[in-house]
Structure 1
Amino acid sequence: MQEVSSILITGGAGFIGSNLALELQERYPKAKILILDDFSSANFKNLKKFNGEVLACDVSTDEVFFKIDDFQPELIFHLASITDTTVTDQELMMRRNVDGFKNILEIAAENESIVVYASSASVYGNVKEHVPLKEEREKSPENVYAFSKYIMDNIAKDFSEKTGLKIVGVRYFNVYGPGEAHKGKFASMIYQLYLQMRKNKRPRLFKWGEQKRDFVYVRDAVDATILAKEAPETTVYNIGSGEARSFNEIVALLNKYLGKDLEPDYFDCPYDFYQEFTQADMSKIKKELGFVPKYNLEKGIKEYVEILEGKIPHPVGGLK
């Protein structure tokens, strides 16, 4: 493994960011790691095992340049953004997500850093056909969050062409796993259903629970994110499991691993816009970087439940 001396992680106290920080700490024990986070959607408890420096910072403001000061990152993992898809304030979403990204790219240009940033599968929009989604397919963002990520992808391509920097987007599908509890109602559907069933409540699903999603365990998402820095050039990769699985299957697996037998409580979907199906085509990252997910839904939910139930520790930090 090639040694890395300095790593900047924005949004490093959040769900994926904290898992990433702890894994990088394990893999690069000699590296200096700096985390910037405004703690608007984060929890310090996620970083109790982190040994580096953590600074409060909104990267969409000029304070980011002062907070970085003389830190010269060789690698930048940019995960800071508003991730609440229900936010309708378009100016706020664009300022925080897009302006923040542009600030980070300026820092990268000054230091000739490799940048890996969080994109999102939401850029694909409400796909009608049930087929794996390839990175190059037409984009159709349905809300301002998805639009902000779509514009970030465009900016990354243009900035790379101007500067020669390598800027790699990781297009996350439905990530779940330890470290998401602080997100409350915005945590994964798997965690929401676990909480209901843990209290012996019937799990609530939109009729009839056959909606399918590509659920990717956070440890796979982190592995792919770190590997993305090895991309041969500026590009974007899907980060998923490569499988579309139904909510009914999640309930069945949670019943199995919790030792319960709870029937779903089906109700009408109240939303005009609702994705019925997502599935990542993972062929590009497999071909270019050799990445293959280690966790299917069965293995991921089993490990997650064991961590939540206190039966095993989180492999890199004891997160719940």
Structure 2
Amino acid sequence: MIVITGGAGMIGSIIAWHLNTRLNRDDIVIVDRITHEEQWQNLAHRHYAHYLDKDQLMDWLQGRNDIEAIIHMGAISATTERDFNKLVTTNIQYSQNLWNWCADNKVPFFYASSAATYGDGSQGYDDASIDNLRPLNGYGYSKHFFDQWALRQVRNNLPVPPSWAGFKFFNVYGPNEYHKERMASVAFHTFRQFSETGTMKLFKGTRAGVEDGMQMRDFVYVKDAASVVSFFLESAAGNKPAPNGIYNIGTGKARSFKDLATAVMTGMAREPHITFIDMPQDLQGKYQYFTEATMSKLAGIGYRQPFHSLEDGVRDYVQNYLIKEDKYC
């Protein structure tokens, strides 16, 4: 069986979709704690063996010898979370407990890190080294702490899972993100706002040299993110597992929020219209103006599946999900 924590979240549920539809696997254990009243719909089309609350997982794992891998996507993912004690408990200690269980039981472990660990980008976006990174918020720091802890386990010859990888997801967008509210992608917010008001609000260029709406991100379609995770899962089950380590998951090509919003509105077959607004006070000084994943490490281990272009990913998202009566994947 394959355990997916955060399995009712966007990335977790699309990983389950990939296992169901691409690998014909339904021996899946979904672990989560659903707090949004509509989030259960992320699981409505999935086939899986068990659902567990996140606090049930460690007890459930005791004595089991039928776990093929743990895919750990569960976390507090809000970049605006201010309660650092909650971040420590959920994003660090829970992850450490799962890592240790996998190490003790010789089970592959794959977990979600984040591009938020790169901070303002002054140290670049290269997954070859995570030294000297300075995240801009507590969420990013909690992910960076666990990355550092995992690498320290390796350096100190402490127990590690037989196969493991941490995934620095860049700006993931796509179906099943609807429960994330403010933390949902700008693609989803564009569709909703433009449908309701006829315009999309984007931030003004508050930094010198940055024009309105031209803050840049490496936008990656959630189906591509799931494909990379599946590659590592299948590799771990084969004769030549992928090298352990931390990997970026992005396209390697930064695009502007203006490009993204325009692609959404074009996908809706309507004339784009954008309004520029001031950046909220709580984001000032904690905002990434540019992200672009260095992808040579993933390519270097043999991952060859092409990533959707921004336009192709947005088109699939809008036309096959957002405009449908049932928008869930």
Matching of residue 221 in structure 1 with residue 225 in structure 2: yes
Cα deviations by residue, 1:33-83 (Å, 9 ceiling, x for unpaired): 111112246821111122223433235xxx432223454311110011100
CA gap of 1:200–1:135, structure 2 versus 1, over 3 A, is farther
Contact 2:19 2:25 (8 Å CA) reproduced: no
Measured in 1, the distance between the counterparts of 2:152 and 2:164 equals 10
Contact 1:133 1:278 (8 Å CA) reproduced: no
Gaps (5+ residues) in structure 1?
1-5
Contact 2:137 2:286 (8 Å CA) reproduced: no
CA gap of 1:40–1:289, structure 2 versus 1, over 3 A, is farther
1:35 to 30, 36, 39: 30
Match of 1:45 in 2: 41
Match of 2:238 in 1: none
Deviating above 4 A after TM superposition, structure 1's stretches of 4 or more consecutive aligned residues are none
Cα deviations by residue, 1:102-151 (Å, 9 ceiling, x for unpaired): 1111321232111110000111101248x654441541112111111111
Measured in 2, the distance between the counterparts of 1:184 and 1:31 equals 29
1:136 to 123, 129, 136: 129
Contact 1:20 1:222 (8 Å CA) reproduced: yes
Alignment RMSD (CA, Å): 2.2
Q: Which amino acid aligns with 1:198?
A: S
Contact 1:156 1:167 (8 Å CA) reproduced: no
Measured in 1, the distance between the counterparts of 2:144 and 2:125 equals 19
Q: Which amino acid aligns with 1:48?
A: A
Matching of residue 107 in structure 1 with residue 80 in structure 2: no
Matching of residue 197 in structure 1 with residue 213 in structure 2: no
Matching of residue 85 in structure 1 with residue 95 in structure 2: no
Gaps (5+ residues) in structure 2?
205-211, 236-240
Measured in 2, the distance between the counterparts of 1:248 and 1:92 equals 34
Match of 1:3 in 2: none
Report the alpha carbon displacement of residue 164 of structure 1 after superposing the two structures with TM: 4.5
TM-score (norm 2): 0.86
2:313 to 279, 300, 303: 300
Match of 1:65 in 2: 58
Matching of residue 273 in structure 1 with residue 286 in structure 2: yes
Report the alpha carbon displacement of residue 85 of structure 1 after superposing the two structures with TM: 1.2
CA gap of 1:181–1:30, structure 2 versus 1, over 3 A, is closer
Contact 2:99 2:160 (8 Å CA) reproduced: no
Q: Which amino acid aligns with 1:304?
A: Y
How high is the sequence identity, in percent, across the aligned residues? 31
CA gap of 1:144–1:273, structure 2 versus 1, over 3 A, is closer
Matching of residue 252 in structure 1 with residue 262 in structure 2: yes
Report the alpha carbon displacement of residue 28 of structure 1 after superposing the two structures with TM: 3.9
Match of 1:212 in 2: 216
1:176 to 170, 173, 176: 173
Q: Which moved more, 1:76-85 or 1:269-278?
A: 269-278
Match of 1:282 in 2: 295
Q: Residues 133-172 of structure 1: matches in 2 within 5 Å?
A: 133-136=126-129, 138-160=132-154, 161-165=157-161, 166-172=163-169
Report the alpha carbon displacement of residue 251 of structure 1 after superposing the two structures with TM: 2.4
TM-score (norm 1): 0.88
Measured in 1, the distance between the counterparts of 2:202 and 2:289 equals 13
SS of alignment partner, residue 236 of structure 1 = strand
Matching of residue 319 in structure 1 with residue 328 in structure 2: yes
CA gap of 1:206–1:113, structure 2 versus 1, over 3 A, is same
Q: Which moved more, 1:39-48 or 1:196-205?
A: 39-48
Measured in 2, the distance between the counterparts of 1:217 and 1:182 equals 17
Cα deviations by residue, 1:158-201 (Å, 9 ceiling, x for unpaired): 33442242221011000000110111121101111111112243
Report the alpha carbon displacement of residue 254 of structure 1 after superposing the two structures with TM: 2.1
Would you say how many aligned residue pairs link Structure 1 and Structure 2? 306
1:263 to 251, 265, 273: 273
Report the alpha carbon displacement of residue 226 of structure 1 after superposing the two structures with TM: 1.5
Q: Which amino acid aligns with 1:29?
A: N
